[in-house]
Structure formats: structure tokens, C-alpha cells
Structure 1
Amino acid sequence: MYTTASNRYFAGTYAQARQKFLAAAQQRAARVESFLLESKLGAYGETLTTDIALLGPSQAEKLLIVSSGTHGPEGFCGSGCQVALLQDDELLGRLTKAGVSLLLIHAVNPYGFSHLRRTNEDNIDLNRNFMRFDAPLPANAAYADVEPFVLPPAWPPAAESEQAMAAYVARHGMDALRDAVSSGQYTVPDGIFYGGRTPSWSNRTIRAILRSHAAAAMAIGWIDIHTGLGPYGHGEKIYAGGNNAQDLARARAWWGADVFAPFEGLSASADVQGALVLSVYEECPQAKTGLMGLEFGTLPHQSVMNALRADHWLHRNPQAPVEQQLKIRQDLRDAFYCDNDEWKGMVLGQARSIMLQTLQGLKQIDG
């Protein structure tokens, strides 16, 4: 049924996704709040907001959070899952019966969602930005070694740049290249996977949302929806919490043995610091948590990485020919959103299953 109905959940632009989300929330009589990004407009001149929809009491003892758009165009997938959830009578009925409130956070990164950039308005990767900025930031010495060929001066890259990358992989391995590039860096503001030097607008907004609606929760399940890593259409269950044996065990009890922790070296994701969901530890220290990055595969890894490289090249070269700009934006969109019924159906089925498992896990925690 999902393959024939999926298009009513998903959208083609940030503005359309926002409209569908707000309409579905209004139909549910959800409590809606909007947080305006005042410093920027969208790609079509639209206002940019992170919107939330709350079903059930604020500050409930048990809370399910589903967030979308942490990485800009990955919001096409996450927004579709959120709209589908708002129209799922059976699942919402289970939440109500269990006394679990539902908090949907739509478009964590509205600028990137609208402008088709994985990063925010300041070129910050938000999943590297939730740090303690009053302490020394993580060092990534290898980044300086790889940036010259990862972000070459010309696009498409010259043969020399690709040969240098191949030589690095031959010497150090593909995992070392992945970690050098994507684990995060805090030294090159116009570089790739930049984590920022201060809390971003989205960081401050998410913390304000948690303080308003989750600060009293004793149990929180949080699913942050992502795309771009892993096999086509497969939803990898990535443990998104801290390196804590009890929390990891809880995640696997809720979602199964195929929950992969990046710090164990088995995930498609690099082991990163500063992820969005880690804010729950500081804002809701009283809560027992189940934290997941639900990552849906799209294109082969090298295609996704090349789309990201091109995007950052364009960020450094904004006077590129219009035709080239449009192609880079479209390639970036395609790398993080497979706009077809088959993929959308795979996404919706797996997301619903994860949400049911999360509900069952929350029910098992004593309030």
C-alpha cells in the first residue's frame, strides 16, 4: 500500500514539505510551534523555520521524538516519514493508549533543506556542532592531509587530484580516508564536515525545544532520520548515544542486535562527536534514553561523496556557470533523496516498524 500512497507524504521542495507537515499537524489538532531563522531566506525567497508538532502533554513522563532535516535535503525523507506518522491512526492510537507523547521536529536545518545543502547557513554540519565549546574541540590532524584532493581547486577534479586520493587509500585504507573526511573538523570554516566554533542557531533552537517539552521526561526515545549511507533503501539502525554500555544495551533491547555503534567500527557511519541527539544528555539528564540515527541508503558511497565534494567546491566558487550550479544542486538532492515509489515505500515501512519498536521500549520503562 505504501508504494501507491507514498507521494501524498513526500514533497519536492522545502516549502512544500513544510506545508504538508503543518497541514497534517493541524488536521491532528497537534500543538504547533515555529522557530524562525531570521538571518536567511529560502531558495525561493520563502521564510525558513524549524517547526514542531506535539501530540500529548508537554513535559510528559514518556516521549517519542522524531526529527528530520538535520542535514538539509535529507529532510525530504524525514519529512515524509513525519507526515505519514501524523496520518497513521493506528500507531497514534497506540501512543495515546500508552501515555506516550509525540514530538515531531521538522526541518532542523531549514536553510540546507531549502537551498539543497547538507550544511546550514554557516556551512556547519549540525551533527558535528552539539559540542561543549567551553572545552578544547576535537583534533582531526588528518583532515589537512586530505583536503587538497577531497576539495580540489577545479570541478570536476583534475586527474592529479583523483590519483592523490587513490594513493592515500592505497597507503592508509578507505576507512582512514572516511574518518579523516567525515569524522568532523573545527579548523576550516569553508571546508567539508565543519563543526563550527560556537553553537549554531539550530543547536540553540533544539535545546530550547527540549527544555520546553522534554525536561521532565523520565524516558525518551529519539529517532533522527538521515539518508546517504549504506545500501539502497536499507535503514541502518545507528546507535546515536554516548559510549555507554547501559544505553547501548537498551538500544539493542529495543531495536535488535542489528543496532550498530560507530565507535565499535561496524557502522556505515564514521564515529563522530557533536551529534544532534546528544543534546538530550545535557537538557534531559534525568531521562533514560533510546537514541537512534535511522540512516537510509541512497546511491553508492562514491557517488554520494562526489556530490558532497562538488557542493563544497561550489560553496567556494559561487560564480560558477549557472548550468554547473544547477547540476551540482540536483546531484546533491539525488544523493540524499531517491524520488521514486520503490525507495519511498521501503523507507516508510522500515520507519513505521522502528517507531513501533520504540513505543514498546518506552512502555517497558517504569515511570
Structure 2
Amino acid sequence: MDSIHPLRPIAVIEPEALLHFQPDQATATARFLSLCGPQSALHTWPIPAAGPDQQPLASHSLWWGPADAEQVLVMLSGTHGVEGLAGSALQCDLLARLNSGAQTLAAGSAVLFVHLLNPWGAAWLRRCDQDGIDLNRNFIDFGRALPDNPGYEALRNALLSRSDSLRGQVLARYRQCHGDAAYQIAISGGQYTDPQGPFHGGRRASTARSMLDQLVERYQLSRRRLAVIDLHTGLGAYGYGEIICDHPGGSAGLATALAWYGDAVTRAEDGSSSSVPKTGLLDFYWQALMPPGSCFVTLEFGTFSTAQLFEVILADHRLHRAAPLTPALLTHPVKLALRAHFYPQTRQWQQLALFRTRQVTQLALDGLSGQTETP
């Protein structure tokens, strides 16, 4: 049975809220910074890589609320680069609503925005970072042997082949022999052997991971109750924001997620999610540091089919293996297809994403402040 939450009206999406959806990383960053205000607790985290116009790139963090807040909503965007274009807009909407008073916080609550965890991927329309690392596979113990993914090794040559017929035959045969879940895990579960391939978890901690370590220390996050929402796009039903929870079965984190978000919570572990089990997720990093009464969820906004998701990602990796990194690459049909998959430009999709984010954000804030009611 769903938890019963206090009724809080969510307004029809105002036309001006759609202005948060900006065309590229530079304008998305500019809009976010314009909403921060001169006195805000903003911090810039430069990365050692440049954008298409040779502009310096950086992530940004913003603390909104009292410095001694006991409970904190952490909202992250751009874990997967290009997906951050939508995630930035959703963060801007919350920040604008906080500034205007349309969104309020309970006493003792604050919000920490982490804007574009992977700014290079957002700038160059890639999911990986400047080192080819998929940040959402990077959170493993690099002091131990790297995880194996034999399914990826079996499919690697076909995945990166320029022959559509060969790729289609090999993938179809693997899927038929091993099943859909094993097929998805082989491709997207995470691999640590092929830096130029998709879903590569890296061979060392990423720049973003180091930044998060510093953020956690700066704000003493392991000592505060946390509701972490990581914004993603590209997987699941069109326009729907799926609340994916990877806290293990029987854990306090899962119990917290179910209490706050009710039966809308889905889990890769039990097969109820559009996602499948993966290695090295960002979730695991936060789970390890969270105090009781906290939880991490991925808010995943669906766009088009999983088959299309795999195709645009694989096409992007094939393109980058063959072509130099130049600004002209951003207008290549492969890039336009990838951008369209992860950042739909229709008003309907944008309105759906805004509405759902406001709804889930309020559920998280209610949960943190103890306003969630259970029967």
C-alpha cells in the first residue's frame, strides 16, 4: 500500500519554467549560475579539459539553506554528461522556486545542488567523461581486482563493428541464448577492460569522484540525514520519472525509500525496474556514507526504447574511435540522434519532467522533515 503523504498542490507548469531547458552546456551553466545570486554558497570545481570553444569547464555546487541544517536534499545532474542538459533544467526549476518562495523548506532543512557532475560530457554530447569513464560505473574499490564482464568481452567486437548486419546478428543471437536481462547486463552492466568502449568504469577514480569526496568532507554530509536524487534520462517510458532504488533488499535505505516514495519505487534487484543490476554505481558511494533515515534514488526520465538507447550510445563510441574531437563533430547525425534520445525537445516531455521532479522533490523533503505519514 502507498504511504499517505500530506496533500500539497503542484501548480500547472508555468511557461517561464520551460526557459530552463537550454540548448547546450554553456547556456545551461549560465542559466544555473544566474539563479545562484551573489551571496549564495556557490563553489566552482574546474576539470582539466576544455569545451568545444576551448572554454574552461567546471562542475558547480550550491548550498541553499542554513549551514547547520540537519537534513539535506542532494540533487545531482550530469552524471552522464549529455543527460545533464535536462538535469540542469530541473535543478534550475527547483532553485528558481526556492528563490521565489514557491518551494519552501522545513526548519532544519537545506538543499545541495551538484550541477553537471560531468561537464565535459555535457559540452561534447557524450555520456562518458574526458577520460572515457562512465561515472555511474566508476564507484568500485580500485585497490582490488577489477570486475569481470564476460558478456561484454563476448560482444565487444560486434558492438563496435561498422557492419550493421554483423552487429545485429551477433546481438540477436546472444539475446536469444542468454535472455534479455543478461543481454542488457553484458552491454551496460559495466566493463573495465576497454577505455574506448561503452559503459567503461575506468581503471582509477574519476575527477568527479574526487570532487564528491571533497564535497562530502566540506559539508560533513555523513553526519546529516540525506535524500539524494540523481537525475537521469533515456531509459523507460516516455516522459515518466521512474524512482529507481538500488539499496539492497532488507536494508534501512530501502525501507526509507519505500516510506517516502511508496509503491512508485522500482528495483533492478527484483526485476521491477526498467534498469538492470550494474557494477560501480554512484548509488553505492552514497549508500556507504549515509546515516540512518537516509536514501539514494535515481530519478530516470524515459524517452525512447532501450534498443534505441543502445544504438545511439554504440554509434557515438564508433564515431569517436574514427573521428577527431572537433566542434564540427557536434553537428554530425550521430550526435544529433544521441542528443535527441537523451534530451527531447518537445514541450510535452519537458512539462512531464518538470511536474514529476517537483512531485518527487516534495516527497523527499516531506520524508526528511518527518511529514510522511504511514497508515
* Cα distance in 1 for residues equivalent to 2:248 and 2:66: 28
What is the CA deviation profile of residues 256-308 of structure 1, one whole-angstrom value per residue up to 9, with x for unaligned ones?
A: 112111111221112112222332244x3545322110000112221221100
- Equivalent of 1:302 in 277, 302, 307: 307
Partner residue, 1:99: 108
The 1:121/1:319 distance shift into structure 2, 3 A limit, reads: closer
Amino acid at match of 2:13: Y
Alignment pair present for 1:222 and 2:228? yes
What is the CA deviation profile of residues 110-162 of structure 1, one whole-angstrom value per residue up to 9, with x for unaligned ones?
A: 0000000000001110000011111223221111111122221x2xx331221
How far off is 1:243 after superposition? 5.0
| SS of residue paired to 1:288 | coil
How far off is 1:30 after superposition? 2.5
| SS of residue paired to 1:293 | strand
* Cα distance in 2 for residues equivalent to 1:138 and 1:92: 47
* Cα distance in 2 for residues equivalent to 1:92 and 1:6: 15
Is the contact between residue 49 and residue 120 of structure 2 (CA under 8 Å) also seen in structure 1?
Answer: yes
Partner residue, 1:204: 210
Point out where structure 2 has 5 or more consecutive residues left out of the alignment.
1-11
Partner residue, 2:294: 289
* Cα distance in 1 for residues equivalent to 2:179 and 2:77: 32
1:137-176 to structure 2, matched below 5 A, reads 137-152=146-161, 154=162, 157-176=163-182
How far off is 1:319 after superposition? 5.1
What is the CA deviation profile of residues 189-231 of structure 1, one whole-angstrom value per residue up to 9, with x for unaligned ones?
A: 1111100111000110112112111435331000000001001
Amino acid at match of 1:4: P
Deviates more, 1:123-132 or 1:167-176: 167-176
* Cα distance in 1 for residues equivalent to 2:159 and 2:68: 45
- Equivalent of 1:128 in 137, 147, 153: 137
1:182-193 to structure 2, matched below 5 A, reads 182-193=188-199
Alignment pair present for 1:31 and 2:41? yes
TM-score by length of 1: 0.92
Amino acid at match of 2:92: V
1:319-338 to structure 2, matched below 5 A, reads 326-338=332-344
* Cα distance in 2 for residues equivalent to 1:306 and 1:81: 26
| SS of residue paired to 1:54 | strand
- Equivalent of 1:44 in 38, 48, 53: 53
Point out where structure 1 has 5 or more consecutive residues left out of the alignment.
none
* Cα distance in 2 for residues equivalent to 1:146 and 1:325: 29
Is the contact between residue 61 and residue 216 of structure 1 (CA under 8 Å) also seen in structure 2?
Answer: no
The 1:11/1:325 distance shift into structure 2, 3 A limit, reads: closer
- Equivalent of 2:62 in 53, 57, 66: 53
The 1:95/1:209 distance shift into structure 2, 3 A limit, reads: farther
Amino acid at match of 2:43: E
Partner residue, 2:30: 19
* RMSD of equivalent CA atoms: 2.3
The 1:245/1:287 distance shift into structure 2, 3 A limit, reads: closer
| SS of residue paired to 1:305 | helix
The 1:100/1:255 distance shift into structure 2, 3 A limit, reads: same
* Cα distance in 1 for residues equivalent to 2:351 and 2:260: 23
What is the CA deviation profile of residues 43-79 of structure 1, one whole-angstrom value per residue up to 9, with x for unaligned ones?
A: 2222110001111233531100000000011001110
| SS of residue paired to 2:221 | coil
Partner residue, 2:319: 314
| SS of residue paired to 1:104 | strand
1:80-91 to structure 2, matched below 5 A, reads 80-89=89-98
Moved over 6 A (4+): 320-325
| SS of residue paired to 1:226 | strand
Partner residue, 1:74: 83
Deviates more, 1:335-344 or 1:92-101: 92-101
Is the contact between residue 189 and residue 277 of structure 2 (CA under 8 Å) also seen in structure 1?
Answer: yes
